[in-house]
C-alpha cells in the first residue's frame, strides 16, 4: 500500500488539532455556564484547569515529542505502511481503518485494565484517578511516564499487527472529543445517554470508573466502545446520580498540585 500523501497527512494533522482545541474550548465554555458541580470559586476552577493542563504539557514534551517523536520516529513513520501481519493482505484503506480502530480500542481496553491490575502501573495511573473534581481537563491529566509506556507498547503492537500509524491519528479525531466529554463537568442529556450506551462509553458510564470505591474503579475500562466491558464482564451500569470521585488517600492538596501529581507514583499512600 502506498504511503499517505503529504496533503492528506496535513489535513489529518489540522483536523487533530482542530478537534482537540475546539473540544477543550467547547466544554470549558459549557462547564463555565452550566456546571454539573460548581467549583467553590472561579480561582479554584482556574487553578484546577491550569494544573491539569500542566500535566498535559509534560505529556506532550516527554511522551509525545521525546519518546514518540524522537525515540520511535512516529513523525516520520505516520504516513507509511506498517510491516506487520495485515501488510500481507491488499486491504483497501477504509477496511484497514475500520479494522485498526476496533483493534486499537480493544488494545486500549486491556491496557487500561492492566494499569489497574499491576501495582506499579496503578501507581502511575492513579494520578489520573486522583482528580477530586472531574472536568474536561481531567481527560488530559495523566503522568508522562504512563503515557510514554503506553506509546511504546501501542506503537510496537501496531507495527506487529501491520496497522499504519495514520490509523491512530484518524481515530483520535473522534477519541479526543469523546475523552473530553467523558470527563466534562456537565450534565449530558438523558436521551443521549440512553441512545449511546449500547455502543460507546458515555460520560455517565465513565464517571462510575472514577468512583473512589475500588470495585467501581475496576469497571467500565473501555475507551470508545462499551462492548468490551460487556463482553469481558467488567461493565457496571451507572446509578441515577454519581457524585464522589477520586482515590482514597489522594484527595489532599499535596496530591493535586503539579509537583504533587508528578511525584504521586513514588509516594507511599
Q: State the average pLDDT over residues 7-21.
A: 95
pLDDT of 111 higher than 90: yes
Tally of CA atoms within 13 A in the half-sphere of 235 that contains its CB: 16
In a domain, 136, yes or no: yes
Q: What percent of the chain lies above the pLDDT cut of 70? A: 98
Query: Per the domain annotation, does 1 fall within a domain?
Result: no
- Is the residue at 114 inside a domain? yes
d(CA 204, CA 227): 16
The answer to the question of residue 257 being in a domain is yes
Three-state SS at 108: helix
If one counts the domains in the chain, the total is 1
Beta-strand runs (E) in 55-171: none
- How far apart, in whole angstroms, are the C-alpha atoms of residue 79 and residue 184? 32
> Residues 148-158: pLDDT tens digits?
999 999 999 99
Looking at every residue in the chain, the average pLDDT score rounds to: 94
Is 30 within the bounds of a domain?
Answer: yes
Find all residues with CB under 8 Å of 188, minimum gap 6, and list them: 181, 202, 203, 204
Structural domain span for residue 99: 6-266
β partners of residue 200: 225
* 82 band by pLDDT with thresholds 50, 70 and 90: confident
Note the pLDDT of residue 90: 85
Tell me if 251 is assigned to some domain. Answer: yes
Identify the weakest region by mean pLDDT among 3-7, 145-149, 231-235, 244-248. Answer: 3-7
169 is a domain residue: yes
Half-sphere exposure (CA, 13 Å, Cβ side) for 223? 20
CA-to-CA dists, residue 210 to 6, 90, 139, 166, angstroms: 40, 42, 11, 30
> What pLDDT does residue 240 have?
63
Amino acid at each position: 500500500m502506498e504511503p499517505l500523501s503529504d496533503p492528506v497527512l496535513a489535513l489529518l494533522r489540522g483536523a487533530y488539532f482542530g478537534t482537540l482545541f475546539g473540544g477543550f474550548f467547547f466544554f470549558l465554555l459549557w462547564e463555565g455556564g452550566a456546571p454539573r458541580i460548581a467549583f467553590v470559586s472561579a480561582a479554584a476552577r482556574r487553578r484546577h484547569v491550569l494544573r491539569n493542563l500542566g500535566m498535559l504539557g509534560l505529556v506532550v514534551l516527554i511522551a509525545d515529542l521525546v519518546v514518540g517523536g524522537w525515540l520511535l520516529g512516529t513523525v516520520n513513520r505516520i504516513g507509511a505502511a506498517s510491516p506487520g501481519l495485515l501488510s500481507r493482505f491488499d486491504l483497501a484503506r477504509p477496511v484497514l481503518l475500520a479494522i485498526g480502530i476496533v483493534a486499537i480500542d480493544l488494545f486500549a481496553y486491556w491496557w487500561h485494565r492492566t494499569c489497574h491490575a499491576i501495582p506499579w502501573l496503578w501507581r502511575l495511573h492513579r494520578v489520573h484517578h486522583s482528580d477530586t473534581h472531574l472536568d474536561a481537563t481531567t481527560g488530559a491529566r495523566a503522568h508522562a511516564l504512563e503515557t510514554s509506556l503506553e506509546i511504546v507498547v501501542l506503537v510496537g503492537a501496531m507495527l506487529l499487527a501491520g496497522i499504519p500509524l495514520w490509523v491512530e491519528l484518524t481515530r483520535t479525531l473522534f477519541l479526543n472529543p469523546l475523552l473530553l466529554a467523558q470527563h466534562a463537568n456537565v450534565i449530558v442529556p438523558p436521551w443521549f445517554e440512553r441512545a449511546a450506551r449500547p455502543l460507546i462509553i458515555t460520560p455517565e458510564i465513565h464517571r462510575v470508573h472514577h468512583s473512589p470505591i475500588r470495585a467501581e474503579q475496576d469497571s467500565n475500562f473501555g475507551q470508545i466502545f462499551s462492548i468490551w466491558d460487556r463482553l469481558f464482564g467488567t461493565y457496571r451500569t451507572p446509578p441515577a446520580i454519581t457524585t464522589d470521585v477520586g482515590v482514597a488517600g489522594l484527595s489532599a492538596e499535596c496530591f493535586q498540585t503539579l509537583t504533587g501529581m508528578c511525584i504521586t507514583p513514588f509516594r507511599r499512600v
